Structure 1
Amino acid sequence: MKIKAIITGATGMVGEGVLLECLQNPDVESVLVISRKTCGVTHTKLKEIIHQDFFNLSPIRMQLVGYNACYFCLGVSSVGMDQETYYRLTYTLTLHVADVLSELNSDMTFCYVSGGGTDSAEKSRMHWARVKGKTENDLMKLPFKAAFAFRPGFIKKLEGQQYVHKFYKYINWLFPIGRFLAPGGFCTMKELAHGMMQVTLQGYKTRVLEGKDIIAAGKAHMGVQ
C-alpha cells in the first residue's frame, strides 16, 4: 500500500517537518496540504489547497476524496487564549475536519498531534489537557479505518526548517541531555513523521502514542534498532 496523505498545519513546525519527511519517503505516493497560506514547498508529489475557513469545507469537499491518511498537525497554544476560543480552535475545528474526512474516506488512518500531558479522562485541572483529551477520545469514535493520537514532548526540528519558533535556537542544545535523562519526553521530527507513516501502514499496539511509542514506531519505519 502506498500512502496518500492529507496534511494540515504545514506552515507550523510540526506540520512542515512531517510534510518534508513525507515528500522524501518512497512509501508516500502523494500529499495534499490544506492551509490558509502557501507552505512554500514545491514537489512533484505535492498538491496544495489554500482555504481560509476550516469550519466550512464545502467548497473543497470533493478535492478531499481518495486519501488514506490524514496527518493533522494544526494546533494552537492555550497561552493567553480564553477557554472558549481554545476549545473552538482545538476541539470543534479538529472534529469538524475529521468528521468530513471520515465520511469521504472510510479507509483513512487519522493521526492527531496532541501533546504530552494530555488527559484521556478529561478531568485534569488544566483546561488544555481536558480539551485535548476530549478531542482524542471523540476522534477515535469516528468511522476511520484507524485513529491515533500522538503525544510528543520536546521535538527536535529538522535541519533547514523555516517554520520554527525563534526560541528553538536557544534550547535545541538541550535535546541530547533530555533524551538521555528522559527519553520518552524527547523525540525528533523524523521519528514523529516516520511514526505516522508506520501506523498508517502497519497499525500500532495502542491508539495513544506517548513519547516512547513515537520513537519506537518511527524507528520501526526507518528500520533503525
Structure 2
Amino acid sequence: MANKAIIAGSSGLIGSNLLDILLRETFYEEVLILVRKELPVRHPKLTQLVVDFDRLEAYADQLTGHAIFCCLGTTRHKTPDRAVYRKIDHDYPLILAQLAHKNGVEQYHLVSAVGANAASSTFYIKIKGETEADIQRVGFATLHIYRPSLLTGNRTEKRVEEKIVTALFKIIDPLLFGGLKKYKSIPASIVAAAMYKQSMQINTGLFIYESDKIKQL
C-alpha cells in the first residue's frame, strides 16, 4: 500500500517547507493537502483538496494514510477575534485528529509553540496547551508535538513586527543557553525537516520536541 501523507496548513511557513520536502523525497508516494483555495503547485503525487474547514466532517473519507501533519495556525494580528483564533488553533486540529484516527491514520504531527501550557493565564499559550492535551486524548499510537520558538524564513506576506523581532533575536540567540536554549529562534525549514524525518520512524508513543531538540533532530 502506498505511503500517503496529509498536510493541513501547507501555505504557511512550516507547511510550505514540509510540502516541498514531501514532494521531493520518495518516502511518500501520495501527498494530500487541505486548502481553502488551490496553491500554484503541481506535482504527479500531489492532490489538492479545497475544503471548508468549518465542515471537515464532509471530507472524512479522504483523511486516510500513514501520517497527518497539522501546521495550522494564525496570529493575533491576523485574527484578533479570540473565538475565531481558538477555532483555527484548537478546533480544526482536534477535529482533523478525530477524523483521521477513526480512519486508521497511524501518526499525527502537530505544530504547537514554545511554552504551550493548558494552565497558563495567557490566552494564546493556553490554547496551544489545550490543543496538545485534547489531541493526546484522541488515542493515536504515535503522536509527535513540535514546539518551535520564533520561526524564521521567507514569508509570502511581509510582517513588519516580525522582521523587527527576528533582528532582535539575532542579538539575543547567542545569549540563550542551558534551559533557555529552547527559546532560540529556529528556521521553519528545520522544523519541517524534523517532522519529515520523525514520520519515517516506527516508534510509537507521545513525543514532544522543544526548539533545541527539533534542531538536534
Bin the TM-score by the shorter chain. 0.7 to 0.9
The residue number in structure 1 matching 2:211 is 211
Partner of 1:55: 54
| Aligned pairs (5 A) from 1:163-202 | 163-167=156-160, 177=171, 179-182=173-176, 183-184=181-182, 185-202=184-201
Gaps spanning 5+ residues in structure 1: where? 218-225
Q: In the alignment, which of 143, 146, 150 is matched to residue 146 of structure 2?
A: 150
- Equivalenced residue count is 209
Instruction: Provide the TM-score with structure 2 as the length reference.
Output: 0.83
1:86 is matched with: 85
The unaligned stretches of length 5 or more in structure 2 are none
Q: Is the alpha carbon distance of 1:111 and 1:57 closer, same or farther for their aligned partners in structure 2, counting shifts above 3 Å?
A: same
State the alpha-carbon separation in 1 of the partners of residues 127 and 85 from structure 2.
8
In structure 1, what is the Cα distance between the partners aligned to 2:103 and 2:198? 20
Give 1:154 shift.
2.1
Does structure 1 retain, via aligned residues, the 8 Å contact 2:68–2:105? no
**Which residue number in structure 2 is paired with residue 127 of structure 1?**
123
The CA RMSD over aligned residues, in Å, is: 2.6
Contact 1:16 1:163 in 2 (8 A): no
Structure 1 residues 179 and 40: alpha-carbon distance in aligned structure 2, compared to 1, 3 A threshold: farther
What is the aligned partner in structure 2 of residue 110 from structure 1? 108
Cα 1:205–1:192 shift into 2, 3 Å: farther
What secondary structure sits across from 2:47 in the alignment? strand
- Distance change in 2, residues 1:112/1:12 (3 Å): same
TM-score normalised per structure 1: 0.80
